[in-house]
């Protein structure tokens, strides 16, 4: 997903759908990458998609009202693609509730995509997420930033690097000013 690779059999995608994701075509790039990643899943794998703004929203593919992983069958991938197309950016940004929801499902891997706008995930929250995870899930973070990447890992802006490092994952950065507009 967006260059981050993992062979987990249980995969959760956590995608920022806050209003700031409308700039530089970020939301459409995220949706396209998500659909491509779903197509690459094998039928033995399972997946779930969580979009979030000020609260998490699970992409339910069946008439079930609690988060559950779906087998990566062609019908589930098609249903997911249809639902992804209808997602619109909302307001606010609360990263932690969406990540907590994903971790409670005990997947092998979480792909977490955000533009990392305020608020960051604070150090105490990073510790809580690491403890909730208990070394069972790899978290790969993908940041949609503006301009060159900030490499100061101590900076509060680099909470994504710390999140990935503390949870056995990788971190990738994309400069959204290089995304092409679809308008």
Q: Following DSSP, what letter does each residue of 44-61 receive, concatenated? A: T-EEEEEEESSSEEE--S
pLDDT of residue 62: 79
Residue 115: inside a domain: yes
pLDDT of residue 17: 94
Residue 140: inside a domain: yes
Residue 10 predicted with pLDDT over 90 = yes
**Looking at per-residue confidence, does 49 or 153 come out higher?**
49
pLDDT of residue 104: 95
Residue 168 predicted with pLDDT over 60 = yes
Residue 3 predicted with pLDDT over 90 = no
Segment 46-60 mean pLDDT:
93
What pTM value is reported for the model?
0.90
- CA pair distance 106, 140, nearest whole angstrom: 15
Residue 80: inside a domain: yes
The number of distinct structural domains making up the chain is 1
pLDDT band (50, 70, 90) for residue 176: confident
Residue 52: inside a domain: yes
Are the CB atoms for 119 and 93 separated by under 8 Å?
Answer: yes
Closest CA relative to residue 175, chosen from 66, 74, 26, 51 = 26
Residue 100 predicted with pLDDT over 80 = yes
Report the relative pairing of strands 46-52 and 56-58 from DSSP bridges: antiparallel
Residue 2: inside a domain: no
pLDDT of residue 22: 84
pLDDT of residue 183: 46
Domain residues for 166?
10-178
Helices (H), the chain: 26-40, 74-85, 95-104, 123-133, 159-166
The string of pLDDT tens digits covering residues 120-167 is 888 899 999 999 998 899 999 999 877 766 665 555 568 999 999 999
Residue 46: inside a domain: yes
In CATH, what number is assigned to the domain containing residue 143? 3.40.50.410
3-state helix, strand, coil in the chain (%, to 5): 40, 20, 40
Name the percent of the chain lying above pLDDT 70: 90
Assess whether the previous peptide bond of 119 is cis (omega < 30° from 0): yes
Residue 44: inside a domain: yes
Residue 4: inside a domain: no
In terms of C-beta density within 10 A (0-12 exposed, 13-18 middle, 19 or more buried), how is residue 35 classed? middle
Cα four-point dihedral sign 26, 42, 4, 115: positive
């Amino acid at each position: 997903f967006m260059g981050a690779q993992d062979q987990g059999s249980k995969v959760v995608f956590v995608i920022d759908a806050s209003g700031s994701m409308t700039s530089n075509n970020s939301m459409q790039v995220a949706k396209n990458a998500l659909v491509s990643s779903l197509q690459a899943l094998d039928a033995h794998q399972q997946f779930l998609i969580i979009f979030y703004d000020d609260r998490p929203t699970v992409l339910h593919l069946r008439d079930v009202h609690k988060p559950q992983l779906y087998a990566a069958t062609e019908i589930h991938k098609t249903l997911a693609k249809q639902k992804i197309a209808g997602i619109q950016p909302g307001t606010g940004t609360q990263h932690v509730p969406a990540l907590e929801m994903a971790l409670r499902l005990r997947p092998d891997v979480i792909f977490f995509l955000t533009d990392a706008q305020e608020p960051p995930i604070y150090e105490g929250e990073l510790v809580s997420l690491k403890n909730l995870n208990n070394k069972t899930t790899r978290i790969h973070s993908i940041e949609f930033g503006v301009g060159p990447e900030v490499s100061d890992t101590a900076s509060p802006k680099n909470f994504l690097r710390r999140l990935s490092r503390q949870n056995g994952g990788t971190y990738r950065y994309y400069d959204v000013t290089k995304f092409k507009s679809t308008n």
